[in-house]
Amino acid sequence: MNVNRKFTLNDTHQEVVKASIRSVENHPVKGVEFKDVSHIFWNPDSRFMVNRYMLRAAQAMIAPNTAIRVLSIETRGHWFSGALADALDAPLTFIRKADKAVPGTYGSIVESTSEYGSTKFAIPHIQPCNNLTAVLVDDVLATGGTAFAIASELKTRYAGYAGFNVCLVTMAEISALGGRDRLATIGCQAESVVQY
């Protein structure tokens, strides 16, 4: 399945952003090429560019007259989510790894499987309403395991609300790993600033 993109960044800007991303072979496990996005924050210009384009990517998936909640996926999603929530004028909620979540602050635990292994995440309650878009934020979309588990849980939890939608915005995407197509099977759109 080839899912059409609603947002694309021109090649010149993609190269500028990619120059700030370091590839680390065999990390955190053998056979994985880790995309280290932390260098983006060293340069205010690249940080500004990434924040601006993540906003545009999110806006491409949000219907007009829609309520918005930004949900940040631990850990590196937290790096980008504050600026995005501010720009969207939306509430921000943190999805934590289950062993770090404060008891009583979440509604459910989901387990996700990714190229690194298995992790449990605590998904907090959000204030649901009709015509709401939950914007998940993470750094890199690879196999989509984490976003798939979280989006599936949110869609099940809030299925009774008309027009409830979940989408994912990431800084980078490793297209060959099929995360975008996997998310499309549950009606979760995904957009990224740069693609590999």
d(CA 2, CA 8): 15
Which H or E element spans position 30? none
pLDDT in tens, 166-195: 999 999 999 999 999 999 999 999 999 999
Sequence-ordered list of residues with C-beta below 8 angstroms from that of 63, at least 6 positions apart, any chain: 131, 133, 163, 165
Per DSSP bridges, beta strands 33-36 and 22-25 are antiparallel
CATH number, domain 11-195, options 3.90.580.10, 3.40.50.300, 3.10.129.10, 3.40.50.2020: 3.40.50.2020
Query: What does pLDDT average to in each consecutive run of 10 residues of the chain (196 residues)?
Result: 58 82 88 87 85 94 95 93 96 94 88 83 93 97 95 96 97 94 97 92
Domain boundaries, the chain: 11-195
pLDDT of residue 7: 66
Mean pLDDT of the chain: 90
